Structure 1
Amino acid sequence: MTETESSSDPDDDRTRYLRRGKWTEVASLAYNLTEVAVSVTAGLMTGSSALVSWGADSAVESAAAGTMIWRLRGEERGIGRRDVLRRKKVALGVLAGAFAVAVAFILYEAISKFVSQTPPGFNWWGIGILLVSLVVNPALAWAKHHYGKKLDSPALKYDAIDTLICEYQTVVVLIGLGLAKWLGWWWADPAAALLIVPYVAWEGWEAGRDAWRVDPEADEAAGG
């Protein structure tokens, strides 16, 4: 077999996948920050707790993308296994805290709307970012899962699941806004926000549990 026909170096392949996974997370970070800016602004302008809550979850996804960039970039630069695990533990801990804050914020926003019984307004910017997300999020989730599988990285695959959950939340918020707009069901908007809570809370629990289990002093063959 000639040199050109021989299989590529596994280390080179891993470096390439690390780089591509990192840039996937960079794209995720940029898009989620856009989601936060547009949805929270539109939600506050129209009084939509569902839009604001959706934006809060996008802020959590931004934190997830940022920590994943930090974690992948470290391995790409060749830091030791112990440092990789340490970064993974910190990243998961940050995510768990961000999810907890998001749950508290969503509950406050939804309950206050139930008390005031204030119907949400309608804003095409908010609807537009939700519709764009229906297309963008599945693509980001596929890429994260693909490179997570290539790298045998549970963290990347976990982040892909989080992105798919955001897709579910997008559908729920759209339905809630539609019912409030066309059927006059003011309660559909905060109800849609509350439907997001169990998924955000579960993700926070999972992230916290995984962070607790990570042992930077463990054998280099452990973790992912």
Structure 2
Amino acid sequence: MDATRQQDLKKARTLQIWNVIYDVIEVVVSLIAGFASNSSALIGWGLDSTIEVISAATLGWRLHGEIKGIDKEKVKKRKKITLYVIAASFTLVCIFITYDSVTKLINQETATWSTMGLIILLVSLVVNPILIYFKRKYGKKLDSPAMLADAKDTFICLYQTVVVLIGLLLVNQFGWWMADPIAALLIVPYALKEGWEAFSKARNINLNETVK
């Protein structure tokens, strides 16, 4: 392995470590705020952050293996596992968000204002674009579909952040109780699409193919 790739791998691994640390904070704060305010959107957003923790940690494991010099077949296997983990995580969170949001629409449950939720959403608006930029940068440098998929996961979180923030403000300013579960449901189609793409890429990695 050349020195430049080794250096890029280490930088990418460090990025994933910071990603995990921030996302753990995001998960804890958003879920506490979401359950306290009965907000489907905040809970769904927190669960997507849980996916980011899982995918970032799994991707870090894959990068660490290459840094340590495991053979190419094992690197390919870790890439495949990473993409499958991302795909499965997307599917699970979509199922939960759909169930939670539809239930609240049927029962006409209203979310309350959450200052804690607002603060973590605003922080995320600053942090996530930075993470996306560097994930794409190193994903392209390392020719890593898993890292590029992880960047898309973070983009979904950014998209969610805007949607959830709008929903939170509509509930508070106009009393539109439906805005919260609808904001959560808007997350689902995009997340399903990205989950399917990650699954397709994982399926197309042939572990029996000779690595050049």
Q: Which interval holds the TM-score relative to the shorter structure? A: over 0.9
The answer to whether residue 150 in structure 2 is matched with residue 159 in structure 1 is: yes
What do the CA deviations read for 1:189-218 (whole angstroms, capped 9, x no partner)?
A: 000000000111111111111111111222
- The answer on whether the counterparts of 1:25 and 1:66 sit within 8 Å (CA) in structure 2 is yes
- 1:1-224 matched pairs, under 5 angstroms: 11-221=2-212
- Note the C-alpha offset of 1:135: 0.3
What do the CA deviations read for 1:12-33 (whole angstroms, capped 9, x no partner)?
A: 1111000000011111111111
Q: Distance in 2 between matches of 1:219 and 1:196?
A: 39
Displaced runs of 4 or more, over 3 A: none
Q: State the AA in 1 paired with 2:173.
A: W
- Identity, in percent, stands at 47
- Note the C-alpha offset of 1:39: 0.6
What do the CA deviations read for 1:124-155 (whole angstroms, capped 9, x no partner)?
A: 11110000000000000111111112212222
Q: Distance in 2 between matches of 1:196 and 1:100?
A: 12
- Note the C-alpha offset of 1:95: 1.4
Q: State the AA in 2 paired with 1:88.
A: K
Greater Rg, structure 1 or structure 2?
1
What do the CA deviations read for 1:76-104 (whole angstroms, capped 9, x no partner)?
A: 00011100000111111111111111011
- The answer on whether the counterparts of 1:127 and 1:174 sit within 8 Å (CA) in structure 2 is yes
- In structure 2, the gaps of 5 or more residues are none
- The answer on whether the counterparts of 2:82 and 2:146 sit within 8 Å (CA) in structure 1 is no
Q: Distance in 2 between matches of 1:217 and 1:24?
A: 31
Q: Distance in 2 between matches of 1:149 and 1:100?
A: 26
Query: Aligned residue pairs: how many?
Result: 212
